[in-house]
Amino acid sequence: MVFFGPTLCFDAKPSGQSAGTSSSDVVSVACALLLVNFMPSFTASGAKARDLWSVDGSPQFATFPGGILTKVPIAIPIWLRVGTIAFGEIHIRTRHGHWVSKTGKSVPEFVYEKLGQSGSVYSTEMVDKVKVSLRLNPASLLIMNLISHGHQDHFSVTSLYIHPARLDGNVVGRYPGRRTLVPTQINLIANISESEAGGK
């Protein structure tokens, strides 16, 4: 596999073909993926505050690495809830929707995009809350709460808004960004690779 800008591309040759792949083959697949400007599908499981948004059927928008926080020794998922005026998708859309709309994306699309970027993790006044400074344009500040009760520990996206000039708190670690592709993206790469193979 190879990193191509912010996108992680896999060697997705169909079965029966040689495992060897030239760098030009992999780059051509990566370029094709970027050219189609792929965006996965986003759906909400319901309209209640605790209901989750999903990306291509999975509630996992990204993964928060283990070892940065004492309470998070292993990697855990990051989820986006439908929420209320105080948190989640409804909060971001209601309080910061004008700014998000300038990107041409919905709130779930924009949250997903920003979670694909790396940034610095800052402490906050609350032990279970973190801020992630994401400096790629548009520079944004992501707020997440650690939920350690229920069936699975996870971070819940509280808010996302334009990056302030100054930040309180201390840098406690580095968020690496999303490093995996959702199934639809992997299938897309496989299809592109098969098409290329058929044309040789």
Report pLDDT digits (tens) over 106-151.
Answer: 999 999 999 999 999 999 999 999 999 999 999 999 999 999 877 7
Select from 112, 108, 130 the least CA-distant residue to 121.
130
pLDDT in tens, 149-191: 777 999 999 999 999 999 999 999 999 999 754 444 445 444 5
Alpha-carbon dihedral sign for residues 96, 98, 136, 189: positive
Structure confidence at residue 129 (pLDDT): 96
Q: Is residue 138 reached through a cis peptide bond, with omega within 30 degrees of 0 on the bond before it?
A: yes
Closest CA to 189 of 28, 55, 17, 61: 28
- Tokens matching residue 100: 């998000």
Write down the pLDDT at residue 39.
72
Q: What is the pTM of this model?
A: 0.73
- Mean pLDDT across 46-73: 96
Whether the Cβ atoms of residue 119 and residue 140 lie closer than 8 Å to each other: no
Residue 42: HSE in the Cβ half-sphere, 13 Å Cα cutoff: 20
